[in-house]
Structure formats: structure tokens, C-alpha cells
């Protein structure tokens, strides 16, 4: 299966916080394919990217240490991958994309074991999470029981057929059958290591076509998020505010209504976004150089990002909402009728909740200024209302939201996503990004 171009719908992503996790497509050269034969030195099942290090024989009769990137450790575990599969001394044959700058790093596409087994980057090695969790659907006071582990559906189950990753994601999103495989000419392959004992199955493994970034962008890094936004047009209307540098999805334009995805910024909002993007371009470069690249995106995208498992803990007076991505933690107070006047502004705001029938309505205010998505900023006057509704069988939790900001937005925005109850335990993200660091 092809290597995914990793883009986020967030605009500042290319130069700000989101770039921390989503810059891998620019780090590796997807137009080239390499094959590597080596013995496992160590497996790092960490987030946001796992890395396997290999000892590889070189043409000079010596050995080189290679480091090859895989998906987030938490996602691999949810899909049935284990460290035991990559125990030290295990012989691997890898098809990958080379690093643009480091001659001994790669981006894993397929892994072949000595016994001939081949696993794809996105392959589901265990039964997909069916959410078969036994739990009471009501609390002792009769309210819906939202407590539990919740994750975006695992929709992309890869098979070893060379199908283009981006095309698969686009087909799944549209409910169509995946397209046939597409392949590159074998002349694009460069080998590293000793292949004298490679199994026949690996010899038959061919490089696949690099994915279409525009198609991949629709699915993000996972396939669980969904939002409601205005359709895009070919360009801005004459009355639209001129975009700030870094605003909007890369390769696309603001639509005819002046929206960037869900958001329609004011002149003040555009100015704030430009200032933020300029500041974070330097910060992102410095962070990458120092290996400090772990950062959140926003409270919408990160809830379903990469199909990580989230956790909700519920009492009569409060909820604690923990995101599986980047360890976002939110408190929702159910015993307050209004936000305290002395509430301290924070990145995620101050949240109070109330029940409207079986729907939990969460009102959040007191935000620090920051990004909401698509390169658009919110001010400290940002106000958000979310509605959490669990299905009658307790297996899905749908969140809809409406946000407004009288300073940085000219219109309110709304969206929706759905997660499923998960039998996979919640796991703290504990971001350890080795992308820009030496891996041993």
C-alpha cells in the first residue's frame, strides 16, 4: 500500500503546531522507493510515530544502523501490532520511501518477515475494534452514561494488493469499492542490505504509486472525523477578506463566500492569523531542530485524530474528557449554572454542562486566543457550545458544535463528529517525536 501524504485541514499546519505531527510527507521522498534488508536492533512503539531500528550490511563489508518510521504506537497496538513481532535479532525486509536528508532513515510501506509473511503499513492484524463493551447505559441518577473509552472507527483495513492509499481512503469515505492497484516501474527501486535469503514473497513485492495528496487530504490521517462545511468554489468573491499567509488548506482557495473550511474570518481575524503564522513559522523550525515538535491542533480535529482512543470519566457533578491525541484534558462542570466571573482563561476554556433530556450540552468560554482550524484564529471572546448525544445502544457518541467569535469571525460555524465505544484501553499519548532526532 502506498505511503500517505500527511496533511491536516488546518492551515497554519504547514508552519505551526500541526506541522509537528504532520510534516512527515515533506521529510520523506515519496517519488522514490527503496528496499532494505536488516536485523532488528530495537523497536520504539511511541507516539506520534513508531520507529524500528535495523542493522544493515553495507557495500563496504561493514554495517549501518537504519531507522524506519511507522504509524503511532497507540494505533499499531489498537491494530494488533506488538513489540514482540519486532524483537531484537528479527530479520526484516522492508519496502519504503527514503528520507530526503538522512541516508539511513526510511518511511515503511511494507514489512516482510523471514517466513514470508507480509504486513502493510495500515494492516489490521487483530480483529477491528467492535466496541463490544458491557457497561450500564445509565448512571445511578438516570442520566446517560458517557463514561468509557471512545475512538473514531477503524475503517481502513489494508491488504497486500498494492492499492493506492489515498484512493482507498477516498473510496471508503464515499462508500465505493477500492480501486485496483497501481505500480511504479521496478527501475525506481534501490536496495540496501543482503537479500540472498529473502523469501519469494518479498521478491514479488513491488513499489506502489505515491498517493495523490489532494485525495488523501479529505481523509486526514484517519477516517473518523466529519464536519459540516460550506462547499468550496474556485476563488474568493469580490467581497471576501484577502487571505493571510498560511490560511486555508494547502492547494485550495477560499470559497466564494469568504470561508476557510468552516470559518469566515473578519479583517481582524485575518490580521491575527497572519501574525500567528509568521511567529509560528520560526517557532516550528526551531522546535523541529531541537526535537520539540509535539503540539495539539484544536479541540475538534484532535478528538478523532488518527483514530486514537479517548476517555470520558463521569460523576454526578463533572466530566473529565481526555483525548488520546496529544493528552488534551478538559473538565466539564455539571454543578455550575454559569461560568465563574474569576475563571482564568485557558487554551481549552472553562466548560459547564447541563442535560437537555439525554443530550449533554457543554458551554465553553474563557479561552485564550488561539487557532481553531484552517489557519483561522479565535480571540478571547470565542464562545463554543457542544452537544453530546449517545446512541440508544450505547455504542456511538455524536458531538455537534456551534462556535462564534464576534471579534475574529463574521459568522458562527458548526460541525459534527462521531466516535464509537472502544474495547481498546485509553492510553496516554506521552508524545516522543523522534522524527528529527537520532534514533538508536
Supply the DSSP string of 52-120, one letter for each residue. EEEEEE-TTSSEEEEEEEES-HHHHHHTT--GGGG-TT-EEEEEEEEBSS-TTEEEEEEEEETTS-EEE
Q: What is the dihedral of CA 22, 326, 224, 297, to 10 degrees?
A: -60
Going 224 to 227 to 265 to 250, the CA torsion angle's sign is: positive
Going 22 to 27 to 28 to 29, the CA torsion angle's sign is: positive
pLDDT attached to residue 156: 54
Cα 185 → chain centroid: 31
pLDDT attached to residue 39: 98
pLDDT tens across the length of the chain (440 residues): 333 332 222 222 322 333 334 445 578 888 788 999 999 999 999 999 999 999 999 999 999 999 999 999 998 998 889 999 999 999 999 999 999 999 999 999 899 999 999 988 888 787 666 667 889 999 999 999 999 999 998 765 444 344 445 565 566 566 666 555 545 444 467 899 999 999 988 876 655 443 322 223 233 333 233 333 322 222 333 334 455 545 543 333 445 566 777 899 999 999 999 988 888 765 554 544 444 568 888 899 899 988 899 999 999 999 999 999 999 999 999 999 999 999 999 999 999 999 999 999 999 999 999 998 878 999 999 999 999 999 999 999 999 999 999 999 999 999 999 999 998 899 999 999 887 776 66
pLDDT attached to residue 279: 80
State the pairing for strand pair 350-356/329-333: parallel
CA distances from 41 to 46, 51, 73, 120, 191 (A): 16, 11, 17, 20, 19
- 374: closest CA among 95, 18, 50, 24? 18
Residue with cell 455524536: 398
Cα 128 → chain centroid: 18
For domain 12-127+156-217, the CATH architecture is Beta Barrel (2.40)
Q: What are phi and psi of 291, to 5 degrees?
A: 75, 15
pLDDT attached to residue 434: 83
pTM of the shown model: 0.78
Cα(408)–Cα(359) distance, rounded to whole angstroms?
A: 29
pLDDT attached to residue 148: 96
| Residue 60 near residue 192 (C-beta atoms within 8 A) | no
pLDDT attached to residue 2: 38
pLDDT attached to residue 29: 86
Q: What angle do CA 101, 185, 222 make, to 5 degrees?
A: 60
Q: Is 193 helix (H, G, I), strand (E, B) or coil?
A: coil
Cα(70)–Cα(377) distance, rounded to whole angstroms?
A: 32
End-to-end CA separation in angstroms for the chain: 27
pLDDT attached to residue 205: 61
Residue 26: other Cβ atoms inside 10 A:
14
pLDDT attached to residue 276: 87
Cα(138)–Cα(375) distance, rounded to whole angstroms?
A: 40
What's the count of helices (H) and strands (E) in the chain, helices before strands?
8, 18
- 150: closest CA among 324, 23, 12? 324
- 360: closest CA among 130, 81, 139? 139
In our burial notation (b when 16+ CB lie closer than 10 A, e otherwise), range 171-205 reads: bbeeeeebeebeebeeeeeeebbeeeebbeebeeb
pLDDT attached to residue 413: 94
| Residue 190 near residue 32 (C-beta atoms within 8 A) | yes
* Residues near 290 by beta carbon (within 8 Å), at least 6 away in sequence: none
Cα(440)–Cα(438) distance, rounded to whole angstroms?
A: 7
Amino acid at each position: 500500500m502506498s505511503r500517505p501524504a500527511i496533511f491536516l485541514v488546518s492551515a497554519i499546519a504547514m508552519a505551526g503546531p500541526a506541522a509537528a505531527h504532520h510534516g512527515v510527507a515533506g521529510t520523506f521522498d515519496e517519488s522514490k522507493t527503496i528496499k532494505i534488508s536488516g536485523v532488528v536492533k530495537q523497536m520504539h512503539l511511541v507516539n506520534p510515530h513508531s520507529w524500528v531500528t535495523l542493522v544493515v550490511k553495507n557495500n563496504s563489508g561493514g554495517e549501518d544502523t537504519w531507522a524506519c518510521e511507522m504509524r503511532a504506537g497507540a494505533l499499531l497496538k489498537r491494530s494488533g501490532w506488538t513489540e514482540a513481532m519486532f524483537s531484537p535479532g528479527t530479520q526484516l525486509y522492508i519496502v519504503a520511501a527514503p528520507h530526503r536528508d538522512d541516508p539511513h532513515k526510511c518511511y515503511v510501506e511494507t514489512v516482510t518477515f523471514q517466513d514470508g509473511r507480509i504486513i502493510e503499513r495500515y494492516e489490521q492484524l487483530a480483529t477491528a475494534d467492535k466496541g463490544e463493551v458491557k457497561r450500564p447505559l445509565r448512571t445511578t441518577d438516570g442520566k446517560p452514561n458517557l463514561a468509557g473509552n471512545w475512538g473514531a472507527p477503524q475503517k481502513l483495513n489494508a491488504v497486500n494488493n498494492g492499492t493506492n492509499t489515498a484512493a482507498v481512503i477516498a473510496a471508503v469515505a464515499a462508500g465505493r469499492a477500492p480501486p485496483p492497484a497501481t505500480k511504479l516501474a521496478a527501475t525506481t527501486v534501490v536496495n540496501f542490505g543482503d537479500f540472498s535469503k529473502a523469501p519469494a514473497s518479498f521478491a514479488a513485492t513491488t513499489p506502489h504509486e505515491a498517493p495523490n495528496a489532494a485525495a488523501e487530504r479529505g481523509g486526514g490521517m484517519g477516517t473518523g472525523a466529519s464536519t459540516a462545511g460550506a462547499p468550496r468554489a474556485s476563488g474568493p468573491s469580490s467581497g471576501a477578506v484577502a487571505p493571510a499567509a498560511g490560511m486555508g488548506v494547502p492547494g485550495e482557495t477560499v470559497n466564494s463566500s469568504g470561508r476557510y473550511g468552516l470559518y469566515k474570518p473578519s479583517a481582524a481575524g485575518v490580521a491575527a492569523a497572519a501574525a500567528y503564522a509568521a511567529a509560528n513559522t520560526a517557532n516550528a523550525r526551531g522546535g523541529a531542530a531541537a526535537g520539540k515538535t509535539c503540539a495539539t491542533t484544536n479541540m475538534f480535529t484532535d478528538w478523532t485524530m488518527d483514530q486514537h482512543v479517548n476517555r470520558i470519566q463521569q460523576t454526578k457533578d463533572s466530566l473529565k474528557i481526555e483525548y488520546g491525541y496529544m493528552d488534551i484534558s478538559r473538565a466539564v462542570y455539571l454543578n455550575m449554572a454559569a461560568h465563574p466571573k474569576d475563571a482564568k482563561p485557558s487554551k481549552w476554556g472553562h466548560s459547564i454542562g447541563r442535560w437537555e433530556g439525554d443530550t449533554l450540552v457543554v458551554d465553553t468560554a474563557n479561552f485564550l486566543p488561539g487557532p481553531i482550524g484552517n489557519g483561522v484564529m479565535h480571540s478571547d471572546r470565542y464562545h463554543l457550545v457542544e452537544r453530546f448525544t449517545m446512541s440508544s445502544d450505547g455504542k456511538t457518541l455524536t458531538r455537534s458544535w456551534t462556535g462564534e467569535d464576534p471579534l475574529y469571525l463574521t459568522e458562527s460555524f458548526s460541525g459534527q463528529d462521531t466516535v464509537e465505544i472502544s474495547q481498546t484501553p485509553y492510553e496516554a499519548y506521552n508524545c516522543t517525536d523522534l522524527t528529527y532526532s537520532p534514533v538508536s
